[in-house]
Amino acid sequence: MTEPLPAPAFRYQPPTKPWLEICYQDKDLLVVAKPTGILTNPGKGPELADCLLARVQQQFPQALLVHRLDMATSGIVVFALRRKAEAALKLQFANRQTAKLYLATVHGKLDTLSGCIDLPLIADLAAPPRNKVCFNTGKAAQTYFQQLPDETNLCNLALSQSHIANLPTTSLLALRPITGRAHQLRVHLNHIGHPIVGDALYPYPSQPEIMQRVNQATRLHLHAAILELNHPYNAERLRFVCAADFAASLPGEKLNQLLENNSSARIIYL
């Protein structure tokens, strides 16, 4: 088995523009569009104190974190503005009563147009903060995927223009995680031989040319595009939709069509 490449040196440089993009607010909820490159909650040490939660709490001191996205992942993050709302929202995530859809650009072409990746995951104690597939002691993890039309790919890869002619084949995917394990989408796609564009933490070890191109990508091509949940106060079904910068031909209306229609949900485009 090919040994994994060492994790790259970590240097934290969170973006400052925009400082904070609040997309929706009521007395219970705050929905923020998270940029790539910023932690959702603070890490260990003062150099990792700047995070989405800290920025939100500068304006809303009562704000409470409900769920997280990886530092390199962009997209929808929900905060609670009251304790009862926090408890209700966290229960929905724990009981899988939310619906989530991510967009990702991956290296290579998948053999099937859609399917389910069912691979158990566990922390990789030999290479933190990575996770890995482990059939003996890993926790169950399932991800549904659907390949999307190629027109949304090459012209929006956000790679150096001087390397466009040498780009490897890529695919744009819609991803629906059933479980919510750490780094689940990144590990699942890497394990089946299709690492996400720009993922320096999980490059594909048997294809060093992918690692050579990782640094050309300005970001990890993984975006939390849709989040559907019940409002914690009145139980109204809400669907938040947020387009990805690397999939310009999928604006909010087209993006919304990728998730099963729920006529009872109020759609909110961010």
- Predicted pLDDT of residue 217: 74
pLDDT per position as a tens digit, 34-52: 999 999 999 888 999 999 9
Identify whether 70 is a catalytic site residue. Answer: yes
Q: Is the pLDDT of residue 10 over 90?
A: no
Overall average pLDDT of the 128-134 stretch: 94
Tens of pLDDT, residues 50-79: 999 999 999 999 999 999 999 999 999 999
Give the mean model confidence (pLDDT) for residues 102-119.
Answer: 95
Q: Distance between CA 258 and CA 270 in Å, rounded? A: 16
Per the listing, tokens 């619906």 go with 99
Which residue out of 28, 70, 111, 118 is catalytically annotated?
70
Helix (H) or strand (E) run with residue 32 in it: strand 29-34
* 8 A C-beta contact, residue 118 and residue 135: no
**Which pairs with CB-CB distance under 8 Å and at least 24 residues apart come from 192-196?**
192/110, 192/117, 193/108, 194/106, 194/107, 194/108, 194/110, 195/106, 195/107, 196/104, 196/105, 196/106, 196/107, 196/220, 196/221, 196/222
Task: Report which residue type is found at 169.
Answer: T
Note if the pTM is more than 0.75.
yes
The confidence score (pLDDT) of residue 7 equals 56
Given a cut of 70, whether residue 2 has pLDDT beyond it is no
Calculate the average pLDDT of the chain. 88
Identify the structural domains of the chain with CATH numbers, from first to last. 22-269 (3.30.2350.10)
The amino acid occupying position 239 is R
pLDDT at residue 4 tops 60: no
